[in-house]
Homo-oligomer: A and B are copies of this chain.
């Protein structure tokens, strides 16, 4: 896949086999185009052409709802010690955005087991995994993590569910000693319930946080924080399994 970037910074994801692209700024000839080229439409407007990477793909993913922002994904990865080779359970899949992001981190030595209840979401998600070339890293499963998680010795379990407190004990069983659970939820009450359920399930190193990202405007006249800002995405709770809870 290639990403074509117009003069306003908007990104257009196109298949490498496509020979011609029709944009608002005119037609681009894509025969013999390669990453790093600067193209011009027939109307003379400039486009950058770059080989699409995971982030381009993540942002332009066919999806049903909202995706987790990079500030929160970064916090999940960094607080759960997820890296190359990690085996991670992701619930629910949605249309696969989180699984794709994590798959890029864990790589072919790792595995993402992603659970989803809705078959329509799974269908979109599997198409997304395939077109991202990650279908060997991601295993997409129809199933309800509140009933159980089939895997064991997992490094991290990530919940993006409306009722995570019903599933945190299943995460405990699925995790290796030293493994992490992360809960992502937009409501304070839900994070509180999940946190308390995590405590009851035996998790340690409990933390509930939120991350604010504030952008700066760097202008000739001076520097200031952006006047518009995303005020809230979700709260996060983390825990870690220390022992088998016998």
Contacts and interface: CB of A to CB of B under 8 A. Distances in A.
A94 to B, nearest CB: 18
Given A50-B178, A216-B209, A230 B227 contact: yes
* This chain: copies in complex: 4
Contacts of A214: 209-212, 231-232
A218 interface: yes
Contact of A48 (B37, B52, B190, B243): B243
B209 A243 contact: no
A65 interface: no
A238 B7 CA distance: 19
Interface string A23-51: 00000000000011110000000001011
A187 B52 CA distance: 33
A36 B153 CA distance: 12
Interface in A76-131: 76-79, 81, 83-85, 101, 104-110
A64 to B, nearest CB: 18
Given A36-B243, A37-B243, 5 more contacts: A83-B107, A84-B104, A105-B105, A209-B216, A227-B231
